[in-house]
Amino acid sequence: MQSIHALMQTLERSPQWQANASLRRVLAHWPQLVGEAVAQHSRPTKIYRQVLQVSVSSAAWSQTLTFERSRILQKLHTALPETQSTIHDLRFAPADWQRLTQRSHPTARPTLADHPSWAESPHERPPVVPPSAHAAFQQWAERKRTQLASQGNCPQCGSPCPAMEVGRWGMCAVCISHQWYRPQNQNRLS
């Protein structure tokens, strides 16, 4: 009967074990190789026939990372020289993304604070459910006052509006829509 040490050495030399060991090393270094933002949308899943399979969150990420494939592969080989013999290419696909993210975060549910619009004001938190309709109205009115105080005014009508609307159209969305949909005969008279 073989000793456990000899059995482990035999196992560690097998191609399947080598691929899994390489995958574990790639997983450990993935955020440093591609950056934290990209790592949140991608995860290496396996090495098959010397191709590192990477699951991504969407087809857009798949396309973007496919264009960056050679650069990522070069960084991978620089950071982990032993992967030069085990990984020759990268393949990106959104295939197992849902299953991977559900397994790693089984109870995580998106919240209002996760929405990108909350990124502009990280100090704010999603509101607590008010005890009465009057309290709900007061809470809403206070948020609107705060929101309006931080906005500029439309140069055309003087109403508060987001700065991006004025930057894009030179006026608020209401004024630009009136201008776009004004009947043609009114344009000639004015």
Residues 177 and 87 in one domain: no
Pick the closest to residue 52 from 60, 42, 61 (CA basis).
42
Residues 77 and 153 in one domain: no
Residue at 41: amino acid letter: H
pLDDT value, residue 126: 57
Domain-ending residue, one of 36, 71, 104: 104
Residues 98 and 12 in one domain: yes
Q: Helix crossing, 15-34 with 4-13: angle to 10°?
A: 60
pLDDT value, residue 117: 46
pTM (global) more than 0.85: no
Per-residue pLDDT tens over the stretch 5-47: 787 778 777 777 766 778 888 999 999 989 988 888 899 998 8
Q: What is the mean pLDDT of residues 153-176?
A: 88
pLDDT confidence tier of residue 175, bands split at 50, 70 and 90: very high
Residues 100 and 9 in one domain: yes
Residue 160: which domain range?
147-190
| Helix locations, the chain, DSSP H | 4-13, 15-34, 36-39, 59-67, 69-79, 97-104, 133-149, 163-169, 173-180, 184-189
- Residue 125 in any domain: the answer is no
Domain-ending residue, one of 104, 131, 156: 104
Domain-ending residue, one of 89, 104, 119: 104
Domain count for the chain: 2
- Residue 162 in any domain: the answer is yes
Residues 73 and 151 in one domain: no
